[in-house]
């Protein structure tokens, strides 16, 4: 009889230990996932910069060579750090590494259009990897009940930085040449619609903790203002106008400010998640 | 009620996980077997424990079965609630107690399907937008082609008109050519007339000069006559003096000289008449001389005018020569212009024919653009 009671007590204690271990493991997974997500986000930003600089280099601007090498070094460092994590087993990560190594070797021979396409594919892969990592690390609405719309952060919010990044690349080219071809108009209009959707629809759906309410709303207003300004410039200064007067630098700055505003919201969301964990 | 029955098991599975729960269930079953063995040696305690354990095993097993069936129903419901349009995996909230790996694999696959679906949606939107742009551009091209067609038709009409103008110009050129020929002929005729005029003028000049010479001779003769009449006057004066002297001597002579006085008187009268005749001759000669002077002056004027006419006729002749050369030049140029106008007329005709081809091409383009617009519209419709 006593043995049976002891047995039950041991089972109960085991259950408690197992539960504690589960909770710790989940939290560790979430923290690890958060760290990986920060690294992947940095990778995305660096690859976006690499896209722009390598395009400039392929168009004859050799002054960017040093900065290009610096960015490649940073990407390689982050890649090495992530290669030791569980995310390295993901087929998307393996695909990115393979693509990156091929791209850095072939960069001399590729043409600007192909270069843009290759970088965009890599960034798209990294965006999916970020979302997968968030899901696999239980950084979703099921686990983070205080932030039910966290899924928009890992997909729509991060994707919007890439949408603005693409519009920046195309827009800078258009402003430099002083002419917007039909294909550029179609692409820019399409990207503009995406940016408008993010600004009007997605940003307002992001969840936030009560303690971050003021900060969140300020960041949202800033981002929406920047994005509205950007979409207006795209619509009226690049697409609809017969004579393009905006300089490449001004457009680049405006687009970069919009990306920075989105990044601020992203970082703010990460801060809130850390507090939740 | 069933929910209440399985609630403890559900909480336990949530707390420790499915695998741990199954492990505990297996342990309880193992305990059941052990207790069944103990039943042989210690029947009272063992039977109680066996019963308790059996209840626990039954409860855990039954509730697990119920949870399984509930989970399957929940899973089915969740799948039924899926939005086939958006394919958004985030709307699929599965709080599953079942083994996590299979659910995770399912969610991963669903997430990938969601991405593929989103990509296709984006492509469709882009195609839709591109189709709208194509329709817009096709419409603009259609409008431009129509304008081009209208402008080309107007140009063709203008060229036809120009062609007709060229024909008229050619006719006018031919008329000018004929007129210049006639002018040339008239100039030649004028020249021959001028030549005759110059000959006549020469004759007139010569006659005038001869007349001038005759008048000069006449003046010479008149001067001789004047000299003679002066002589006669002088003789008459002398005779009158003589007669007077004779009268005086006759008077001196007295009666004897009366007859002489009469003769003297008669001589005096004769001398007086001679003097009067001489005076008359002298005055007539003067008048004749004055007249001849006038005639000489007139003749000089005639000579001068005739010379002037001659020089003017020379100028006219020179002018006529120039006119002849000019008309010859005009003729040659008119011939060149005529040739050029014919070439232009031929070129205009060719342009007119090409314009017709352009018009036809523009019409064909308009038709193609219309078809393109229809295809783009169909493409847009397919994306909706």
Tell me, what's the ipTM? Answer: 0.83
DSSP code for A236? I
Nearest-CB residue to A4 (from B49, B90, B95): B49
∠ at Cα A38 (A37, A44), nearest 5°? 85
Q: How many Cβ atoms are within 10 Å of A253's Cβ, its own excluded? A: 12
pLDDT in the model for residue B39 = 66
Of the CA atoms within 13 Å of residue B345, those in its CB half-sphere come to 14
Q: Average pLDDT of chain B?
A: 83
Residue B320 pLDDT more than 80? yes
Cα–Cα distance, A66 to A68 (Å, whole number): 5
Burial class (CB in 10 A: 0-12, 13-18, 19+), B261: buried
* Yes or no, beta carbons of B133 and A182 under 8 Å apart: yes
Cα–Cα distance, A269 to B1 (Å, whole number): 42
Contact A21/B at CB under 8 A: no
pLDDT in the model for residue A114 = 84
* Yes or no, beta carbons of B93 and A142 under 8 Å apart: yes
pLDDT tens digit sequence for B180-221: 888 888 888 888 988 898 898 889 888 888 888 888 888 888
pLDDT in the model for residue B244 = 87
Burial class (CB in 10 A: 0-12, 13-18, 19+), B237: middle
Contact A212/B at CB under 8 A: no
Cα–Cα distance, B10 to B122 (Å, whole number): 42
* Yes or no, beta carbons of B90 and A151 under 8 Å apart: yes
Nearest-CB residue to A18 (from B20, B45, B48): B20
Nearest-CB residue to A186 (from B27, B94, B130): B130
Cα–Cα distance, B296 to B291 (Å, whole number): 8
Residue A33: pLDDT band with limits 50, 70, 90: very high
Spatial contact of B15 and A19, defined as CB atoms under 8 Å apart: yes
Residue A231 pLDDT more than 90? yes
Residue B161: pLDDT band with limits 50, 70, 90: confident
Say what the pTM is: 0.66
Cα–Cα distance, A136 to B101 (Å, whole number): 11
User: Which residues of chain B have a CB within 8 Å of the CB of A15?
Assistant: 12, 15-16, 20, 24
Give the pLDDT mean for A92-103: 92
Q: Which residue of B has its CA nearest to A140?
A: B90
Phi, psi of B19 (to 5 degrees): -65, -45
The alpha carbon of residue B74 is apart from the nearest alpha carbon of chain A, in Å, by: 16
Q: What's the CATH number of domain A140-276, 1.10.3470, 1.20.120, 1.25.40, 2.30.29?
A: 1.20.120
User: Which residues of chain A have a CB within 8 Å of the CB of B34?
Assistant: none
Contact A15/B at CB under 8 A: yes
A2 — alpha (psi -120 to 50), left (phi > 0) or beta? alpha
The alpha carbon of residue A201 is apart from the nearest alpha carbon of chain B, in Å, by: 16
Q: Which residue of B has its CA nearest to A92?
A: B112
* Yes or no, beta carbons of B20 and A15 under 8 Å apart: yes
pLDDT in the model for residue A153 = 94
pLDDT tens digit sequence for A191-224: 999 999 889 888 888 888 888 889 999 999 999 9
The alpha carbon of residue A94 is apart from the nearest alpha carbon of chain B, in Å, by: 17
Cα four-point dihedral sign B61, B66, B69, B75: negative
| Rg value, chain B, Cα | 75
Nearest-CB residue to B126 (from A7, A135, A190): A190
For chain B, list residues whose CB is within 8 angstroms of any CB belonging to chain A.
Answer: 12, 15-17, 20, 24, 27, 31, 35, 45, 48-49, 53, 90, 93-95, 104, 107-108, 111, 115, 125-126, 129-130, 133, 137
Interface test with B, best of A147, A190, A197 (most B CBs within 10 A): A190
∠ at Cα B57 (B51, B58), nearest 5°? 90
Give the pLDDT mean for A97-110: 78
Distances (CA, A) of A135 to A97, B108, B114, B159, B371: 21, 9, 14, 76, 49
The alpha carbon of residue A162 is apart from the nearest alpha carbon of chain B, in Å, by: 15
- Chain A residues 119-158 within an 8 A CB cutoff of chain B: 128, 131-132, 135-136, 140-142, 151
DSSP code for A88? G
User: Which residues of chain A have a CB within 8 Å of the CB of B20?
Assistant: 14-15, 18
Residue A46: pLDDT band with limits 50, 70, 90: very high
């Amino acid at each position: 009889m006593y043995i049976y009671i002891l047995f039950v007590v041991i089972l109960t204690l085991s259950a408690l230990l197992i539960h504690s271990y589960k909770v710790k493991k989940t939290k560790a997974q979430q923290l690890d996932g958060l760290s990986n997500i920060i690294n992947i986000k940095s990778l995305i930003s660096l690859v976006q910069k690499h896209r722009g600089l390598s395009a400039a280099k392929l168009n004859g601007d050799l002054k960017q060579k040093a900065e290009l090498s610096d960015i490649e070094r940073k990407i390689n460092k982050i890649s090495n750090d992530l290669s030791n994590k569980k995310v390295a087993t993901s087929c998307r990560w393996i695909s990115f590494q393979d693509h990156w190594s091929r791209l850095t070797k072939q960069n001399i021979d590729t043409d600007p259009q192909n270069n843009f396409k290759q970088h965009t594919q890599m960034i798209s892969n990294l965006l999916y990897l970020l979302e997968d990592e968030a899901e696999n690390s239980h950084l979703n609405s099921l686990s983070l009940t205080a932030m039910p719309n966290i899924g928009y952060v890992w997909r729509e919010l991060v994707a919007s930085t890439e949408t603005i990044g693409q519009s920046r690349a195309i827009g800078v080219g258009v402003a430099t040449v002083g002419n917007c071809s039909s294909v550029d108009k179609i692409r820019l209009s399409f990207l503009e619609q995406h940016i408008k959707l993010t600004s009007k629809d997605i940003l307002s759906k992001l969840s936030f903790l009560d303690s971050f309410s003021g900060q969140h709303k300020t960041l949202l207003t800033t981002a929406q203002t920047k994005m509205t300004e950007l979409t207006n410039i795209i619509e009226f200064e690049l697409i609809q106008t017969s004579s393009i007067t905006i300089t490449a630098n001004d457009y680049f700055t405006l687009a970069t400010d919009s990306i920075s505003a989105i990044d601020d919201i992203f970082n703010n969301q990460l801060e809130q998640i850390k507090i939740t964990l | 009620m069933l929910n209440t029955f399985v609630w403890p098991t559900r909480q336990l599975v949530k707390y420790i996980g499915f695998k741990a729960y199954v492990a505990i269930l297996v342990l309880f079953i193992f305990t059941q077997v052990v207790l069944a063995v103990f039943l042989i040696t210690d029947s009272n305690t063992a039977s109680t424990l066996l019963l308790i354990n059996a209840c626990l095993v039954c409860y855990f097993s039954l509730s697990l079965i119920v949870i399984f069936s509930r989970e399957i129903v929940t899973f089915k419901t969740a799948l039924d609630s899926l939005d086939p349009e958006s394919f958004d995996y985030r709307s699929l909230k599965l709080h599953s107690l079942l083994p996590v790996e299979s659910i995770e694999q399912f969610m991963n696959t669903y997430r990938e399907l969601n991405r593929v679906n989103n990509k296709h949606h984006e492509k469709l939107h882009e195609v839709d937008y591109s189709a709208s742009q194509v329709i817009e551009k096709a419409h603009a091209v259609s409008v431009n082609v129509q304008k081009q067609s209208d402008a080309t038709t107007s140009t063709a009409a203008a060229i036809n008109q120009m062609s007709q103008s060229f024909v008229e110009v050619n006719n006018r050129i031919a008329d000018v050519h004929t007129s210049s020929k006639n002018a040339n002929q008239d100039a030649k005729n004028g020249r021959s007339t001028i030549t005759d005029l110059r000959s006549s003028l020469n004759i007139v000049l010569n006659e005038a000069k001869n007349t001038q010479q005759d008048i000069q001779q006449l003046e010479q003769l008149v001067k001789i006559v004047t000299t003679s009449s002066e002589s006669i006057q002088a003789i008459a004066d002398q005779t009158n003096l003589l007669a007077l002297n004779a009268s005086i001597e006759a008077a001196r002579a007295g009666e004897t000289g009366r007859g002489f006085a009469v003769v003297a008187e008669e001589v005096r009268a004769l001398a007086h008449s001679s003097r009067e005749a001489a005076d008359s001759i002298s005055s007539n000669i003067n008048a004749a001389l004055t007249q001849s002077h006038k005639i000489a002056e007139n003749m000089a004027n005639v000579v001068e005018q005739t010379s002037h006419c001659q020089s003017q006729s020379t100028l006219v002749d020179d002018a006529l020569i120039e006119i002849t050369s000019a008309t010859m030049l005009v003729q040659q140029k008119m011939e060149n212009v005529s040739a050029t106008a014919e070439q232009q007329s031929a070129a205009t005709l060719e342009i007119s024919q090409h314009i017709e081809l352009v018009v036809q091409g523009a019409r064909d383009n308009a038709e193609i653009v219309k078809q393109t617009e229809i295809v783009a519209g169909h493409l847009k419709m397919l994306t909706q």
